Amino acid sequence: MNKIFFSKQIIDWYLINQRSLPWRKTRDPYKIWLSEIILQQTRVAQGLPYYNEFVKAFPTVFDLAKATEQKVLRLWQGLGYYSRARNLHRCANKIVKDFNGEFPASFEELKKLPGVGPYTAAAIASIAFSESVAVVDGNVFRVLARVFGVETDIASDEGKKYFFLLANELIDQDQPDLFNQAVMEFGALHCLPKNPKCIECILGFLEDNVFQRIAKQNSGIFKRCCQSNQKN
């Protein structure tokens, strides 16, 4: 019940507040992969024009694979972390050569591709193929830590494992794409690292009744939302 409640609230919030972004209007794994690689360590406002340029220059994975590395690096100029661009090109070639241009449709297989870690694999698997696997990035860590009062260090292996399991318990199995995007967007726009919008927060508003009741039912596993936030 509590998991369903959290998923529902966060998805409802997302449906009203999400930003309109081109990679959210497609289920094409190529374009989702492209956006995820470009947005690693990059703000959306900075990555958006690069995404548009790449899609224009290379509409399909075949076009990207055919391009010279020099051309790919030229388009990437200004984004930094050039290993991402090289891996992007290597990955496109692997998709064409080993998979006939079709992205593998599972989290486990996607993780084996060059430059694709667990975060990116989960994003592609859930958004393009509706696989129920949680994306866990910095925004997700922060939201879950605050809402569920988790104090485990996210930099530790134990912490990473814990948050991955928690996110996978919470995910809406029927709408994993929406759930993942909702939690990330909530962290990016609302539950901010500094000055989160607690006063106008649907989760904060409800914490006094629903979350506290759940906390009692779960022997204190769930603490009040904002508790950890107050330490910031």
Residue 149 touches ligand SF4, criterion: CB under 6 A: no
Among 196, 210, 215, 223, binds ligand SF4 (CB under 6 A): 196
Residues 74-103 that bind ligand SF4 (CB under 6 A): none
CB of 216 to ligand SF4, least distance (A): 19
Among 3, 27, 112, 197, binds ligand SF4 (CB under 6 A): 197
61 exposed, middle or buried (CB, 10 Å; 0-12, 13-18, 19+)? buried
CB of 230 to ligand SF4, least distance (A): 9
For ligand SF4, which is the closer residue by CB, 92 or 134?
A: 134
Site stretch for ligand SF4 (CB under 6 A), options 61-69, 77-85, 188-196, 210-218: 188-196
Are the C-beta atoms of 57 and 63 separated by less than 8 Å? yes
Residues 150-169 that bind ligand SF4 (CB under 6 A): none
For ligand SF4, which is the closer residue by CB, 33 or 148?
A: 148
Helices marked H in the chain = 2-17, 29-39, 44-57, 61-66, 69-76, 82-99, 107-110, 118-129, 138-147, 157-170, 176-189, 202-206, 212-217
Residues 27-56 that bind ligand SF4 (CB under 6 A): none
Cα–Cα distance between 35 and 88 in angstroms, integer?
Answer: 11
Closest CA relative to residue 26, chosen from 128, 122, 95: 128
- At 183, the amino acid letter reads V
Cα–Cα distance between 104 and 54 in angstroms, integer?
Answer: 21
Q: Is 185 designated active site?
A: no
DSSP letter string, 146-191: HHTT--S-TTSHHHHHHHHHHHHHHS-TT-HHHHHHHHHHHHHHTS
Are the C-beta atoms of 66 and 107 separated by less than 8 Å? no
Site stretch for ligand SF4 (CB under 6 A), options 61-69, 77-85, 127-135, 221-229: 221-229
Residue 146 touches ligand SF4, criterion: CB under 6 A: yes
Site stretch for ligand SF4 (CB under 6 A), options 56-64, 111-119, 171-179, 196-204: 196-204
Binding footprint of ligand SF4, residue count (CB under 6 A): 13
CB of 135 to ligand SF4, least distance (A): 18
Active site residues: 36
**Where on the chain is the footprint of ligand SF4 (CB under 6 A)?**
146-147, 190-191, 196-198, 201, 203-204, 225-226, 229
